[in-house]
Amino acid sequence: MRRERETAEFMDPTWLQSAVKQAAVLLHASGGGFYGCDPAQPALRLLAAYELPERPWEKVLEPVCARREAVIQGGLDQPAMVAVPALWREAVRGVLVITDKAPGRVFDARDVALLQPLADLAAAMLQQTERLARMTAQFRALHAIDLALSASLELERVLNLILEKAVELVGAEHGSLRLLNPETGELPLKACLGEGWTPEKQAYAPRLGQGIAGRVAELRQPYLSPDVRTDPHYVVLFPEMRSTVAVPLLSNLSEGQDEELLGVLLLESARLAAFDEQDVELLQALAQEAVIAIQNATRHQELQRMHQALLDEQERRVAAEKWTVMGQTATALAHRINNLIGVVPASAAEVRRVLIGVEMPSADREWIEANLDRIERNSRYILRISDALFRPFQESGPATRLDVNLLLNEALQAAGLPSDIQVIREYDPGLPPVESSSLLVDIFLELILNARRAMQGLACQQLRVCTRLEPDRANAWIVVEVHDTGRGIPPEQMAHLWDLFQPSAEGLGFGLWWVRTFLERQGGTIACQSQPGAGTTFTVRLPAATPVG
């Protein structure tokens, strides 16, 4: 129906009507008609008529098409009729019918010989009209595809759009678009259309030379199969399919170099001989547009990755600079605190020793002892704070490869969790190592202790620690999740969760700031999700030290 509408748009009914009239005049007949013959249509269509009476002869039109031979009829009870096939390169494109109501009129072989050139001329006109219609439809479709592809730089969207347009252009029922993996020689599926694409079928990835897609990739030539049931190269994924067409996606390189194969576009239909050479030409034109769109989307992705890599590197540098500045500040501050406060406990002990031999009322001595005890306690507390401030910035030696699962077990043991906390470990045993300092165990310990404090006093206390591997196109990430069933974090506190010196009932608010700063310095990230009354989850992502295949 699509091609019929396209052809009708360009057909000149005046010319065909004139041809039928000239044929009737040539034979001195009373009327005639021209019927179009389309193999894809079940019945012939009357395209032009001149004084054509009722049509009792239509039952003979299909035999004319089938045998490609003229038929002559006539008798006492019906008008004379001659039907001539309109041929174009051995293909029947229609039937020219001439009738005469005059009594006793009989057509003969001479009449057939006179009509045949006119019929063949009409067939040629129909062929050229259809070709013009298809070329125009191709131009319109490719222009629309070009606009659509130019509007998107997302590779997945581009691939699906290419396949959608290809299926629409040639009337296919199934389609697949595969991109070549140059390292393995496989053609993994990147986009598919049609019913029945199960995960198993989507996972099928032919190699070069395997199946029709692999053969197209190997030879870098289009492939047309009118009946796949007799095609030795066809790999059956959908038994109901009967014909297929496939074209390579080739990138034009500089002069003197072979074209680079990007992938293969393959379409299928449940109809026999559903595609022809014009469909191949159309898909090849589409493939040229597709290659440009794929290359643009791929370059865009690469630029995005490069931009993200630059941002990540900048963040690491900023984190390292912050770490250095804070380390220098913390070291200087801790050194000054130790110098000033470190002598206080010793001075208090010296005062207590001197007062042993001094006579004074017992009430005064008790007051002095209580104040000396308070001075010693406060000074030791300040010294502990100083040590906590300085400890994260201590140099722990060069980075080394560490097993995250072992570090988590070490942190859980160091946390000394009470027996009423249920600990659930869900570790991925196949994790590659991470490259970091030994302070990473303190990161995990800080998160575990935060979870312990959040669950303190609750009836349900469950701590879940899990690890997994998340590969992507550029890297592989070790993901660690620490989830508790604690009180959760109120929204007003979440806004300042990572700020420096956000005091709480449990500490100075220093821990989460240095946790994030340390992880960013290692090229990682940390995120927090929390719901008051439902618990909190901290998610740590660290780059794997070894590439993942």
The 10s digit of each residue's pLDDT in 446-495 is 899 989 999 988 888 999 999 999 887 667 899 999 999 999 988 888 88
Per DSSP, what are the bridge partners of residue 529?
A: 537
Q: Decide: pTM greater than 0.85.
A: no
The C-alpha angle 102, 108, 111, rounded to 5 degrees, equals 85
Per-residue model confidence (pLDDT) at position 433 = 92
Per-residue model confidence (pLDDT) at position 447 = 92
Per-residue tokens: 190: 């990147």
Per-residue model confidence (pLDDT) at position 6 = 43
Q: How far is CA 315 from the centre of its chain?
A: 28
The model's confidence at residue 385, banded by pLDDT at 50, 70 and 90, is low
Residue 171's nearest CA partner among 307, 311, 6 is 6
Per-residue model confidence (pLDDT) at position 246 = 94
Max mean pLDDT among 37-41, 158-162, 312-316 falls in 158-162
Q: Which residue has the tokens 């049609």?
A: 194
Residue type, 183: E
Per-residue model confidence (pLDDT) at position 1 = 41
Q: Which residue has the higher pLDDT, 165 or 81?
A: 81
The model's confidence at residue 143, banded by pLDDT at 50, 70 and 90, is low
SS3 472: coil
CA distance 191 to 197: 11
The residue ranges of every structural domain in the chain are 2-138, 152-304, 314-393, 400-543
The model's confidence at residue 333, banded by pLDDT at 50, 70 and 90, is low
Per-residue model confidence (pLDDT) at position 147 = 62
Q: Which residue has the higher pLDDT, 59 or 408?
A: 408
CA distance 468 to 482: 12
CA distance 436 to 304: 27
Inter-residue contact 101 to 53 (CB < 8 Å): yes
Compute the average pLDDT of residues 391-406: 74
The mean pLDDT of the chain is 81
In percent, the amount of the chain with pLDDT more than 90 equals 33
CA distance 525 to 345: 42
Q: Which residue has the tokens 């019945």?
A: 43
CA distances from 366 to 353, 372, 541 (A): 14, 10, 56
Helix axes 362-390, 277-341, angle to 10 degrees: 150
CB-based contacts of 229, cutoff 8 Å, min separation 6: 242
Q: Please say if the pLDDT value at position 219 is more than 50.
A: yes
Per-residue tokens: 148: 């659509």
Helix axes 277-341, 343-354, angle to 10 degrees: 20
> Strands 462-471 and 476-484, how do they pair?
antiparallel
Q: Please say if the pLDDT value at position 257 is more than 70.
A: no
Q: Please say if the pLDDT value at position 501 is more than 60.
A: no
Q: How many other β-carbons are positioned within 10 Å of the β-carbon of residue 478?
A: 22
User: What's the start-to-end Cα distance of the chain, in Å?
Assistant: 50
Per-residue model confidence (pLDDT) at position 505 = 47
Per-residue model confidence (pLDDT) at position 44 = 81
Per-residue model confidence (pLDDT) at position 210 = 92
Topology annotation, domain 2-138? Beta-Lactamase (3.30.450)
Question: Is 400-543 assigned to CATH 3.30.565.10?
Answer: yes
CA distance 435 to 234: 49
Q: Which residue has the tokens 């290692």?
A: 522
Per-residue model confidence (pLDDT) at position 273 = 86
CATH number, domain 152-304, options 3.20.20.70, 3.30.450.40, 3.30.70.330, 3.40.50.2300: 3.30.450.40
Per-residue model confidence (pLDDT) at position 267 = 94
CA distance 202 to 194: 12
Q: Please say if the pLDDT value at position 275 is more than 60.
A: yes
Per-residue model confidence (pLDDT) at position 304 = 65
The model's confidence at residue 283, banded by pLDDT at 50, 70 and 90, is confident
DSSP string for 334-398: HHHHHHHHTHHHHHHHHHHHHGGG----HHHHHHHHHHHHHHHHHHHHHHHHHHHHHGGGS---S
Per-residue model confidence (pLDDT) at position 5 = 44
* Sign of the torsion formed by the C-alpha atoms of 150, 153, 155 and 158: negative
Per-residue model confidence (pLDDT) at position 93 = 85
Is it true that 2-138 and 400-543 share their CATH fold?
A: no
Compute the average pLDDT of residues 312-335: 65
pLDDT digits (tens, 9 = 90+) for 81-137: 899 999 887 778 889 999 998 888 889 999 999 999 999 988 888 877 776 766 676
Q: Which residue has the higher pLDDT, 149 or 125?
A: 125
Q: Please say if the pLDDT value at position 58 is more than 80.
A: no
Compute the average pLDDT of residues 382-403: 68
Q: Which residue has the tokens 């009209």?
A: 129
DSSP H helices in 416-467: 440-455
* Sign of the torsion formed by the C-alpha atoms of 187, 190, 194 and 197: positive
Task: Give the lowest-confidence range in 56-70, 335-349, 410-424.
Answer: 335-349
Q: Please say if the pLDDT value at position 177 is more than 70.
A: yes
Residue 542's nearest CA partner among 496, 459, 475, 454 is 475
Max mean pLDDT among 115-119, 283-287, 350-354, 513-517 falls in 115-119
Q: How many other β-carbons are positioned within 10 Å of the β-carbon of residue 390?
A: 18
Compute the average pLDDT of residues 41-54: 80
In 114-216, beta strands by DSSP E: 174-179, 189-193
Max mean pLDDT among 109-118, 328-337, 355-364 falls in 109-118
The model's confidence at residue 196, banded by pLDDT at 50, 70 and 90, is very high
